[in-house]
Chains A and B, each alone.
Chain A
Amino acid sequence: MKLTKILMCALAVGAATFATSKVYAVPGPVTVSGTALSQDSKGGYDVAKKNKFTQKILLNILAQATGDSSITNKKTTVLYDPAAFNTKAYDSIEGYYFYGVFYYSNSVAGLKTLDGIDTNGDYYSYIELDYYNWLLDDIEGFWSGDSVEYNTIIGESKNKATVNGNALLYIHSNPYDYDLPDSDYYYANDWDGDYQPYAFVMHGPLKYGGSISGSTMTTTGKLSGSGDGLYDYNDLVVSGNASFKAKGPAPD
């Protein structure tokens, strides 16, 4: 059996197992960095201003959006588990069935998810990765073939498999501005009149890998992309990358 198939089976088993015992679902840290162009003026002319952003900006956005100041006051890690079935979205949005759960973790808050269901039973989230995962053979986030690419090129070697496709990472301060699978939009701009304080989009190639070494299974991902952004209600054009690495016990 090809390694890709083995990994697909292993990850599928891991995903299925997560629902019961969480044995194989191990969230891995996510890191983002990039540059943002914003509008400025100089000498009566419009000019582009270029700034960089790092994980600090992501944490600052999440701290403000969630109202949890420990995200910036303490060492906080943002985590992603691509193999975790998103039960909250499944329970609160009719007809939605996808994988991928983001968390944050620090010494005060512990481990908390970055999505959920509010008191009215409505789904909310602050960050999502929209991706058709060929290794899991499943949908992550609000992926739709209308908004994010489907094609994937697979590379295999003795101990690992890598899939090259495209994905969309969307960070947003309005928790109800999550993406929808039946449309090709996100609210990191004001085209539809919505204007949230903070939003970043990175849409582009994602190199996603899985490997099994001895008793350990590792999944890695690196997304490079660009997209719209909003920052303090100002327009941005964002370019950057996000990476994650998750490691856990391999299935028997």
Chain B
Amino acid sequence: MRPKFVFALLLLALLVLGAALFLKQYLGNTASPPNPEIVAPAPVVSNVVAVAVPPPAPAPVAAAPAATNVLTPEQREAAIDAETDRLQDWSMNDDPASLSNILANLTSPEKEIREAAIEAAKQFDSTNAIPTLKAVAANTTDTEEQIALLEAANFLSLPDLPLGNQPTQTREQMKAAAQQARQAHQNRLQQGAQSQNPSSGTPSSPDQNAPAGPNQ
């Protein structure tokens, strides 16, 4: 083989190699920019993400002001406080929008808000919250929070203690009852607790001592 031919072949191979390297570098740059400062997402410290994903239920009112990582600790705490105050307010309402707002906060990135939302859901006292509480519990990795969510769901499944409406005694009657009981207590202390301990004898019957009321 002639030296000229060999030289030309080597030159051609170098050109092909150079072209390949150039193309690789060019295409690599366009596919994934190497500058991490441009694309690194800011850490999420608020429920901005939760708001960005549309919920299946009627869209709740924006639960909390967007507290991003530009907030100072004081501002962040103020935002949490404001939201927990709103949760307390919603818990005293009786409308679907308030419940929706409460349930939206069950997935807040702030633990304090999530805890307040669980308590607010209990106070709102609607069985409509049970499926959401269970669903959020199923997706929670925090064991304590999972327990709190499931306990809240169980709590809401219980019947309410009915609102009582007993006739009010007069101040004098109540004062007399209290004084009499204090005297009985002092006597019992002096005589020795064992002699009147309910566990060692017959417990006093509520029916014997209760003032006459509608339920007696």
| Residues of chain A at the chain B interface (Cβ within 8 Å) | 29, 31, 33, 35-36, 50-57, 60-61, 64-65, 67, 75, 77, 118, 122, 173-177, 180, 183, 185, 187, 190-198, 213-214, 216, 231-235, 243, 245, 247
Contacts and interface: CB of A to CB of B under 8 A. Distances in A.
B146 interface: no
A98 to B, nearest CB: 19
A179 to B, nearest CB: 11
A38 B22 CA distance: 83
Contacts of B177: 174, 176-177, 194-196
B213 A233 contact: yes
A193 B181 contact: yes
Nearest to A57: B161
Given A31-B88, A122-B175, A235 B206 contact: yes
Nearest to A176: B178
A194 B175 contact: no
B130 to A, nearest CB: 13
Given A33-B122, A193-B180, A213 B164 contact: no
Nearest to B155: A52
Contacts of A52: 125, 155-156, 158-161
Contacts of A173: 166
Interface range on chain B (Cβ under 8 Å from partner): 35 or more
B210 interface: yes
B150 to A, nearest CB: 15
Given A31-B119, A245-B84, 5 more contacts: A31-B88, A31-B123, A35-B155, A233-B210, A234-B206
A234 B164 CA distance: 11
B123 A216 contact: no
Contacts of A61: 164
Interface stretch (B2-10, B55-63, B132-140, B183-191): B183-191
B206 A64 contact: no
Given A191-B198, A233-B210, A51 B161 contact: yes
A196 B161 contact: no
For A194, A214, A243, the residue with the greatest tally of chain B CB atoms inside 10 Å of its CB is A194
A58 B186 CA distance: 30
B16 interface: no
A75 B92 CA distance: 7
B168 A64 contact: yes
B169 interface: yes
B164 A232 contact: yes
Contacts of B111: none
